[in-house]
Structure 1
């Protein structure tokens, strides 16, 4: 009776009326209510599978009356355990001496596991407890289960250390403990587990070094230690595990040293990430031996030297991120020869030379080179200087000897005149020019002409401090967006200055580009302030998620991959603002209406009217006094309690935006009242075992294929399951960003890495092997 659409409750006398029942399998239906106590009267039962329903209440404490029970699967329900009485079923199950599988993941089980778990059958080979709220230390009774193959305790509240005795469970194949609060060292005894194929420990508080002994686990296909506090160098023995056929993720730790040449032994690994660490030295040429790599992320480290040409051997590579390192040397134009490369990030290095214009380098939405100040050429949207022919050293020397004294005199005179002018006009001068390639400032009359006298036909948006108009400059070709400040509104001028200051010296492919400003008077003699931006032809994300049906512009729906790309773009913008600006910037008002989409549907974050600078590069907080703190629904809860403005607040807003992007629901919808929030809505749906199709935006599952971008995923029997798991994974990332407590939120770097990984694995690996989609093994 499994995998149907049956609903209602189970008959209270089901066990009494069917005393000879051997198998009770009603998984993946819509049953509600409590599990009848009479089930224990069917004493011949071997298997009970009631997973993926909506059963609630306690788990019956009389299941120990089933002497032949071998499997108990109750995952993905709403079953509860809050106190010792609720956990009595564990003591009862000690009588089931043949029990081999206990699956309780994704329920509402809380509190500490009872000590009586140690009395369960020693024949147990599977225990899954993931996605509950179970707390306490690692249950010592687990050491009794010498036949254990799968142990999943992920996404609970377990604390303390991971015990050494796990290394004695010789048959253990899957150890999944991610998303808890485990601390201390990774036990070296895990190296004794020669049958281990999955070790997933990410998002804990583990510290110390990576055990060299893990190199003895030659059956591992998945190793994920990301998001901990691990330090020291990466043991070369880890790279000797040639069985790593799923992925290796060591990102977001404190690892140092070099990336050893032995990395080339990962010949069967499609996914490798060591990003967000403190690794240094040159990139090993042996990376070119990892010929099945599809995703390689080495970003946010201290790697030096040139990009090795051996990377051109990675013919299957789809994503390569080398950003935020100290790489130098000639621009790696040979990467254009990688036939499947879809995303290339070389930003914030010290590369020099000419950027090509063909293949991947012909589309600015697929690559980034921002922050490399010695580059030239490339497509026009990069705004790089042209590459001119080099003058001979001899001629250059002669020119310098003749012109240098003259130039110095001219510069000194210009400096003197500039200082005089600046002192004279300092008080009345508008904010400084915002970009080095900005056009001449425009007058009120020019903007009036560009917008046809600020006509309503050209009005494209109204915000807190003004209106935005579509305009065409005097050349008749340049399309711009003109933000006109309503200076009568309190705080508008301050917002104008803040936005100019925030955008004056920053540049990123995912930030809206400001072209120039206008500080003048209108025809009535009133003060006039405006900011001129690059025009975004596809409007705001808000308009795509919640379209006005009268506007044809938004008649196409956003597909799954488009939404993932937008999520990655916004995270990249915040990561740049928080960690890569000379003075970190907090946006303070991230929401869909402030995310704009260019002609290639690349997301650009805009509206910096509330942006704030951190006082210095090491302080991640700013006093909240006199600070305007954002929009209702997207504003971090600590602001309502007088908390400090911090980068954590932007992460919270990003989490809410992420949930809105994939559920299609605003956090301010009418349904969210009386304490119910968008986050609560998603969390409760998961805890009740709801299908993700009931949570996600219905337009993602529409039969109308216009705008759909997942056609390349619709191949194979597992396509639907992969997409479902992808959506679950993204929503979990959103929840982790939008935690009420700032300290519990992941960083924007982590969020970006996870979304990129989800998208990558959606196309390549089986999603049920990825921890970023939080497998529960129900």
Structure 2
């Protein structure tokens, strides 16, 4: 009979011995065989045999493989084990994972200048299988994204070895089992998304060790138990804390009120009970709150930020009161007393009621059997509007033209105090399903560089989206300041790179980390705002498909629309295939505009009278070796005095041309663009691209 011991101990003993001793020579082979023999005695179920088989195959391949440096060899072995654990790859996402090319060039894999693997990004590839535990041996792994696939089994507990891991996304798979306690060892983790799986058990208290976490999404699983109190140790949590659609019970910890940076809190659709702690009113940065569909009771504290939310944020808690549109607290108290008085009567008639219901059920089943068609029960699948037209009219002085802060052929944007009201000219009634689906997605999006959507209004043919309003203007004003000295002092090269990094990070969040992947499609400088801390935030997203009828009209419009059209990718003309690469094109045009100091019209007129695009003008200048004549005069000092700054500007021009390739497949991804920009900012060189 096989000896049964702790499987975690077996893994921890086996992995460093198997993968850590893959050196040259007979001694290594001897150590490898000894490790496998020791591990074999730990096997007690089929899952263990599977892991043993993977280790055996990986070890044999590694001992027979060509010699490589220690770190590279370990990374290669870990990636090979990962591939072996994949049982189905219908899109051939890993077809090019062969020893013919260096593993740093494999699709989904990225390395740093030391050729150490730093990211493994394979979302939406329809991969099936288990997540190989050997992935934890990629010691420099920083980004791991396996979301929207069909990975099964449990999350490997050994992921806790990844002390450099910053972003973890395993959302939208079929993972089960519990969240391993070792996740608390990932001390560099900033975002973690494990939503839309079948994870069970308790939320590990060890998560409190991830002090750098800024976003945590565990929604849509079957987690149970209480919310751990030490979640309040995550003081850097600012993007979101989403624990919705689970089976959590107990009270809402008052300690959550210590998360002073938190902007989004969603605890809806659980079994939480007790009162809402007044400490939640201390969350001054909170822009989105949803604790609906629980078993909470008592008055909603009208303290601090809690007083700014309406009943839609609390509905589905029958015992709550004290918010507009909810039951008055006195009525709830009388209801409690009435229920106590009627409890005895209810117990007496319960048997009669049960028999009556049983009779009705039998009668209904008989009728249902004889019916060939059934009538659908109507229900409302849409989110409820949280703004009324009369309120928006009051805030915008009846949509006074003096309050217009932006417009397009599809909508007009009005200022209304601390909110901006985007009123659609499009007849959204023809796209009601899409409108509500998109609104539901937009209300959940939270990122430090995205302008938050706070609500919407729909009354008959009136459709409006409500966002935050930033009073410090937008990027277009900053880029084209009238005085050159102002641009040189307040918008130097470093600040321009920071704008691009912030914008790319926000777009990656829309493309890769939202439950409904979103393409901005309308990116331009007037949609990049400055908040009260002079941080850049992207707005105007989420309306691409609502505006599709107008995009074709805009491309045929007069020169008055020329400034907007210049930023739109060419494939948006027919709307047949819209991908995140459309936003890459727009960012490339903005980068050209930043570097040249010229606004981005559809075409420029040369000295010979020829009309060419801004891209063609830059290509001519670069081929002619006249970088100084291309660059914004405010950057002239950067070019003439510092060779390192000249190199940065040349690389940025190169990125702008790559981003604005007419063929969609020739453009880089937004993640690649962000990596290049980060390399330029920190004076690093990517060995694979040269940028």
Counterparts of 2:171 and 2:628, CA distance in 1: 33
Preserved contact between residue 188 and residue 213 of structure 1 (Cα < 8 Å): no
Residue 768 of structure 1 aligns with which residue? Answer: 685
Preserved contact between residue 161 and residue 185 of structure 2 (Cα < 8 Å): yes
- Provide the aligned length of Structure 1 versus Structure 2: 481
Displacement, 1:294? 5.0
Displacement, 1:564? 0.8
Among 718, 727, 741, the residue aligned to 2:663: 741
Residue 570 of structure 1 aligns with which residue? Answer: 507
1:260-295 per-residue CA deviation (whole Å, 9 max, x = no partner) reads 33333344x25354546765433322222233x154
Q: Are 2:463 and 1:535 equivalent residues in the alignment?
A: no
Residue 456 of structure 2 aligns with which residue? Answer: 516
Preserved contact between residue 679 and residue 685 of structure 2 (Cα < 8 Å): no
Counterparts of 1:679 and 1:368, CA distance in 2: 43
Counterparts of 2:616 and 2:434, CA distance in 1: 33
1:715-756 per-residue CA deviation (whole Å, 9 max, x = no partner) reads xxxx996x888877776665444321234345xxx42x3355
Residue 247 of structure 1 aligns with which residue? Answer: 117
Shift in CA distance, 279/213, structure 1 to aligned 2, threshold 3 Å:
farther
Q: Are 2:241 and 1:364 equivalent residues in the alignment?
A: no
Residue 314 of structure 1 aligns with which residue? Answer: 186
Preserved contact between residue 456 and residue 464 of structure 2 (Cα < 8 Å): yes
Among 582, 587, 608, the residue aligned to 1:650: 582
Residue 288 of structure 1 aligns with which residue? Answer: 160
Displacement, 1:298? 4.4
Shift in CA distance, 245/741, structure 1 to aligned 2, threshold 3 Å:
closer
Q: Are 2:611 and 1:611 equivalent residues in the alignment?
A: no
Counterparts of 2:70 and 2:624, CA distance in 1: 32
Shift in CA distance, 644/314, structure 1 to aligned 2, threshold 3 Å:
closer
Secondary structure, aligned partner of 1:534: strand
Give the helix-richer structure, 1 or 2.
Answer: 2
Among 197, 200, 215, the residue aligned to 1:326: 197
Q: Are 2:543 and 1:633 equivalent residues in the alignment?
A: no
Preserved contact between residue 594 and residue 605 of structure 1 (Cα < 8 Å): yes
Residue 415 of structure 2 aligns with which residue? Answer: 470
Shift in CA distance, 760/570, structure 1 to aligned 2, threshold 3 Å:
same
Displacement, 1:572? 2.0
Q: Are 2:107 and 1:227 equivalent residues in the alignment?
A: yes
Secondary structure, aligned partner of 1:208: coil
Shift in CA distance, 604/298, structure 1 to aligned 2, threshold 3 Å:
same
Preserved contact between residue 264 and residue 290 of structure 1 (Cα < 8 Å): yes
Shift in CA distance, 495/192, structure 1 to aligned 2, threshold 3 Å:
same
Shift in CA distance, 196/682, structure 1 to aligned 2, threshold 3 Å:
farther
Normalising by the residue count of structure 2, what TM-score does the alignment of the two structures yield? 0.53
Preserved contact between residue 434 and residue 504 of structure 1 (Cα < 8 Å): no
Residue 546 of structure 1 aligns with which residue? Answer: 479
Unmatched 5+ stretches in structure 2: 1-60, 80-91, 275-293, 297-318, 320-339, 358-377, 556-563
Displacement, 1:656? 3.4
Secondary structure, aligned partner of 1:768: coil
Which runs of structure 2 are paired with 1:53-202 in the superposition (5 Å)?
191-192=65-66, 194=68
Preserved contact between residue 542 and residue 592 of structure 1 (Cα < 8 Å): yes
Preserved contact between residue 519 and residue 579 of structure 2 (Cα < 8 Å): yes
1:369-391 per-residue CA deviation (whole Å, 9 max, x = no partner) reads 49867787856731524854398
Displacement, 1:533? 0.8
Q: Are 2:386 and 1:439 equivalent residues in the alignment?
A: yes
Greater shift after overlay, 601-610 or 503-512? 601-610
Counterparts of 2:582 and 2:531, CA distance in 1: 22
Counterparts of 1:566 and 1:247, CA distance in 2: 25
Shift in CA distance, 699/455, structure 1 to aligned 2, threshold 3 Å:
farther
Give the strand-richer structure, 1 or 2.
Answer: 1
Displacement, 1:471? 1.9
Counterparts of 1:373 and 1:605, CA distance in 2: 31
Q: Are 2:95 and 1:208 equivalent residues in the alignment?
A: yes
1:625-679 per-residue CA deviation (whole Å, 9 max, x = no partner) reads 9955674112332455x57252367345444356358536543276477564344
Preserved contact between residue 521 and residue 583 of structure 2 (Cα < 8 Å): no
Shift in CA distance, 298/483, structure 1 to aligned 2, threshold 3 Å:
closer
Among 100, 117, 142, the residue aligned to 1:271: 142
Preserved contact between residue 461 and residue 468 of structure 1 (Cα < 8 Å): yes
Preserved contact between residue 413 and residue 421 of structure 2 (Cα < 8 Å): yes
1:207-252 per-residue CA deviation (whole Å, 9 max, x = no partner) reads 53645799xxxxxxx9523436x9xxxxxxx9xx9x9774344434
Preserved contact between residue 481 and residue 533 of structure 1 (Cα < 8 Å): yes
Shift in CA distance, 343/462, structure 1 to aligned 2, threshold 3 Å:
same
Preserved contact between residue 273 and residue 297 of structure 1 (Cα < 8 Å): yes
1:144-166 per-residue CA deviation (whole Å, 9 max, x = no partner) reads xxxxxxxxxxxxxxxxxxxxxxx
Q: Are 2:421 and 1:504 equivalent residues in the alignment?
A: no
Residue 58 of structure 1 aligns with which residue? Answer: none
Shift in CA distance, 325/693, structure 1 to aligned 2, threshold 3 Å:
farther
Residue 178 of structure 1 aligns with which residue? Answer: none
Preserved contact between residue 560 and residue 700 of structure 1 (Cα < 8 Å): no
Preserved contact between residue 656 and residue 734 of structure 1 (Cα < 8 Å): yes
Residue 677 of structure 1 aligns with which residue? Answer: 613
Normalising by the residue count of structure 1, what TM-score does the alignment of the two structures yield? 0.48
Preserved contact between residue 275 and residue 300 of structure 1 (Cα < 8 Å): yes
Secondary structure, aligned partner of 2:153: strand
C-alpha RMSD of the superposition: 5.9
Shift in CA distance, 312/198, structure 1 to aligned 2, threshold 3 Å:
closer
Among 133, 138, 141, the residue aligned to 1:261: 133
Shift in CA distance, 368/701, structure 1 to aligned 2, threshold 3 Å:
farther
Residue 483 of structure 1 aligns with which residue? Answer: 422
1:495-553 per-residue CA deviation (whole Å, 9 max, x = no partner) reads 99799446432231246415232648xxxxxxx84625132325664445535669xx9
Secondary structure, aligned partner of 1:603: strand
